[in-house]
A and B are shown apart, each in its own frame.
Chain A
Amino acid sequence: MNVGAYSATLSLASGGSLALVLDASESAEAAQAAISTLVTGLLTALPARVACSLYFLGGAAPYSPGDFPLKAAGWFRENRGRGSILAPVAAALDTQPDTPIVIIGAGPIFDLEDWADTPLLARTTLVAMGASLQGEAMYAMEVAHPSPNELFQRVHDPVAAVRIGGDGFMPLGWGNAGYRLARLADAFLLTGERLEEFGTTLRFLAAPGGTVRAAATLVSGQTRAIALEPEPAPTERLAWQGSLTGAERAIFQAALRHEDFSCPSCGGRHRWDVLTCTEGTALLGTPVYPSLRAQPGQFALLQPGQDAVRFRVTASDVLPLEPGRVVVREGQRGTVYAYQPAAARWAAAGPLQPYHPVEGGGCYVVLL
């Protein structure tokens, strides 16, 4: 078993999500004004980035929470007399498995027992604005007559951090720049903390048939698993960004022969593996390949051709070298890691040497 290349999308609403289900039934008629006040207060307190949805018990149609203050009375009229039945809205809520649910009403929900011990009720808070919504049974957490602020504190529990990892996981690229590569024990992870937006696309290597998971830690400290559905990643075609200048090409060709070269910056001679000339006045030295430094990134791939040396600068901290081998940027150096199929882990295999060949493309890699 070797390592496979996959892609996946992590969907996670920034600031979390919340589904409100309101009771317009006969048993909640006397509590309608109190329900409206509570919902208006809660919606005012919720940050705009919380993805909120609104339903009525007995129905599956979603309503726009933003319109609630203006249209609440009409919506209650529209749904008046629906029985206190969860089934229709439960079918809609089952499609949002990570969304906390708040049901606000009065009097028993007759079919609540059909969802006993299910994930749906585990993420549900019942809010009784009159008689209990579950009678003497205890199917879900229930609070009575909370203030908008109390309810906000209880239900607003946004994501504080996300960690993605798993068997043989090695991220190659990710669309959300807020995520960082991390190493915990012998495992590589992708972590994001205190981000406005946690959703991301990602490409990664992993053990075929293994498990790659995303776990969110909420502000309250609770953790929640988030579904990831990896798919085999298509082979990526390299897009070259430019060509070395004539002087840079001469340095590159000398370096491949492990011969000293003449530095265009200081005029002196440097060893073949020097990438930054420190003889000049520049504090951090002068790159021997100014063309590469013009692009922000971690590694540069160089491909010699008949008349030119093309290059591409990569943004990710990880670059695949050949099947089962990658280089990982660790501060000012690169470390080569080799995949260990038996342990589904990546083990360090030594530092990255300048002009390390990359299999398959006739390329060489240097650390920027």
Chain B
Amino acid sequence: MLFSCDRTGFPLVQIPGTALRLHLLPVSKVQFERYLAEPGAVGDDWYSAVLAVNPRASYRAAGDADRERLLLTGILPDEAVHFARWLGPGFDLPTADEWRRGYCALSSCYTWQAELDRALAQAAPAARELVGTLRRLLNPAPLHQLALMEGGVLEWVRDGARWAGYGKPRPACYEVICEPLSCPPVTPMRAAERLPFFGFRAVKRG
């Protein structure tokens, strides 16, 4: 697996045989706050509304019960796209197919530790700490476990012209069973509602 970092210093993973790079983790609050700190990004009121849906947990003191609170959820798809565009040219939200391809590749990848460690040496300190915390909490074997494609949240994907969600959240987070390889993505009842179990990761094409 080939790892790199985005402008926030958080890791991306390249899907073998493609030019596609996915965020290794769903976008976390500490990562999103790099964007929030920019002048005229989204503002404190907007972020307060998002945090009201799923309160923040510190990546420095998180336990397993706090896992979902590390991630930025409650964000709407168009807002997530704004963040992706801010990351740079080529960044977007993944299509359902791209997300599934990423899931397949990461769930069959068991030898990633050394390469990830090398990439993390160049990453933001917060990214290193967050990945380290997740490795300690999850003891992941296949990479999709560390990537929280399992045990994370539902993530916004483009499903044709509509927005839907892929992922295998813990039952405590989202009770409906989602199996990405056999089920269609989850479509929320109200697309404009901030949902505590909907987050996202970005993709970089080309």
> B-contacting residues of A (Cβ < 8 Å)?
25-27, 57-59, 78-85, 87-88, 107-108, 110-111, 113-114, 116
Tell me if A110 and B34 are in contact (CB < 8 A).
no
Give the chain B neighbours of A26 by CB distance below 8 A.
43-45
Q: B137 an interface residue at 8 Å Cβ cutoff?
A: no
Decide if A83 touches B59 in the complex (CB within 8 Å).
no
A83/B60 in contact, CB under 8 A: no
Q: Name the contact of A82 in the complex, choosing from B38, B45, B59 (C-beta under 8 A).
A: B38
Once the chains are docked, how many angstroms separate the CA of A79 from the CA of B59?
Answer: 26
In the complex, per-residue mask of B28-60: 1 if CB is within 8 Å of any chain A CB, else 0: 001001101111111111011001000010111
> Are A83 and B37 touching (Cβ within 8 A)?
yes
Q: Which residues of A contact B44 (CB under 8 A)?
A: 25-27, 83-84, 107-108, 110
Instruction: Name the residue in A57, A58, A78, A111 with the highest tally of chain B Cβ atoms < 10 Å from its Cβ.
Output: A111
Q: Which residue of A lies closest to B51 (CB)?
A: A110
Contact B34 A81 (CB under 8 A): no
Q: Do A81 and B45 have beta carbons less than 8 Å apart?
A: no
The CA-CA distance from A114 to B60 in the complex, in Å, is: 6
Closest-by-CB residue of A relative to B42 is A83
Given the interface pairs A107-B44, A110-B56, A113-B56, the reply to whether A78 lies near B61 with Cβ below 8 Å is no
- For the complex of A and B, list the 10 residue pairs with the smallest distance between their C-beta atoms, beginning with the closest: A83-B36, A58-B37, A81-B40, A85-B37, A27-B44, A26-B43, A26-B44, A113-B58, A85-B33, A114-B58
Residues of B within 8 A of A87 (CB): 30, 33-34, 37, 126
CB distance from A109 to the nearest CB of B (A): 10
With A111-B56, A116-B61 already in contact, 17 other A-B pairs whose C-beta atoms are closer than 8 Å: A57-B37, A58-B39, A78-B39, A80-B39, A82-B36, A83-B36, A83-B43, A85-B36, A87-B34, A87-B126, A88-B34, A107-B44, A110-B44, A110-B56, A113-B56, A114-B59, A116-B58
Contact assessment for B47 and A110 in the assembled complex, using a CB-CB cutoff below 8 Å: yes
Cβ–Cβ contact B126 & A79, under 8 A: no
What are 21 residue pairs bridging A and B, where the CB atoms are less than 8 Å apart in the complex? A25-B44, A57-B37, A78-B39, A79-B39, A81-B40, A82-B37, A82-B39, A83-B33, A83-B36, A83-B42, A87-B30, A88-B34, A107-B44, A110-B33, A110-B51, A110-B56, A113-B56, A113-B58, A114-B59, A116-B58, A116-B60
CA distance A114 to B61 in the complex (A): 8
CB distance from B38 to the nearest CB of A (A): 7
* B40 with A114: CB separation less than 8 A: no
Which single residue of chain B is at the shortest CB-CB distance from A112?
Answer: B58
A87-B126, A113-B56, A114-B59 are contacts. A81–B39 as well, Cβ < 8 Å? yes
Bound-state CA distance A79–B37 (Å) is: 9
Which residues of the other chain, A, contact B51 by a CB distance below 8 angstroms? 110
**For the complex, what is the distance from the CA of A59 to the CA of B38, rounded to whole Å?**
8
Our pick among B33, B43, B56, B61 for the contact of A81 (Cβ within 8 Å) is B43
Contacts of B34 in A (CB 8 A): 87-88
Residue of B nearest to A107 (CB): B44
**Separation of A85 and B126 alpha carbons in the complex (Å):** 14
Say whether A88 contacts B39, CB under 8 Å.
Answer: no
Contacts of B58 in A (CB 8 A): 111, 113-114, 116
For the complex, give the distance between the alpha carbons of A82 and B42 in Å: 8
Give A58 to B47 CA distance when docked, in angstroms: 14
Q: What's the minimum C-beta distance from A269 to chain B, rounded to whole angstroms?
A: 78
Distance (Å) between the CB of B69 and the closest chain A CB? 11
A59 touches B37 (CB 8 A): yes
Residues 102-118 (chain B) with a chain A CB within 8 angstroms = none
Chain A residues whose CB sits within 8 angstroms of the CB of B60 once the complex forms = 114, 116
List, in ascending order, chain A residues with CB within 8 A of B33's CB. Answer: 83, 85, 87, 110-111
Are A88 and B37 closer than 8 Å at their CB atoms? yes
Shortest C-beta distance, B2 to chain A (Å), equals: 28
Expressed in whole angstroms, the Cα–Cα distance for A344 and B51 within the complex equals 57
- Taking a contact as CB atoms under 8 Å apart, the answer to whether B40 and A80 are in contact is yes
* A27 CA to B48 CA, complexed, in Å: 10
Q: Nearest Cβ in chain A — how far from B79, in angstroms? A: 14
A23 to B51, CA, bound (A): 20
Instruction: Give Cα distance in the complex from A84 to B34, angstroms.
Output: 11
**Using Cβ atoms and an 8 Å threshold, which residues of chain B touch A82?**
36-39, 41
- Nearest-CB distance from A132 to chain B (Å)? 13
Tell me, in angstroms, the Cα distance from A111 to B40 when the chains sit together: 18
CB distance from A120 to the nearest CB of B (A): 12
Please give the distance in Å from A243's CB to the nearest CB on chain B. 61
CA distance A107 to B56 in the complex (A): 16
How far apart sit A103 and B61, CA to CA, in the bound complex (Å)? 23
- A25–B41 Cα gap in the complex (Å)? 11
Among A25, A57, A88, which residue has its beta carbon within 8 angstroms of that of B43? Answer: A25
B5-43, CB < 8 A from A: 30, 33-34, 36-43
Asked if A81 and B30 make an inter-chain contact with CB atoms under 8 angstroms apart, the answer reads no
Compute how far the CA of A27 lies from the CA of B34 in the bound complex, rounded to whole angstroms: 18
B43 to A, closest residue via Cβ: A26
B residues in contact with A88, CB < 8 Å: 34, 37
| Nearest Cβ on chain A to B73's Cβ, whole angstroms | 15
- CA of A107 to CA of B39 in the docked complex: distance in angstroms? 17
A80–B56 alpha-carbon span in the complex (Å)? 23
Say how far B36's CB is from chain A's closest CB, in angstroms. Answer: 3
Measured between C-beta atoms, what is the minimum distance from B88 to chain A in Å? 18
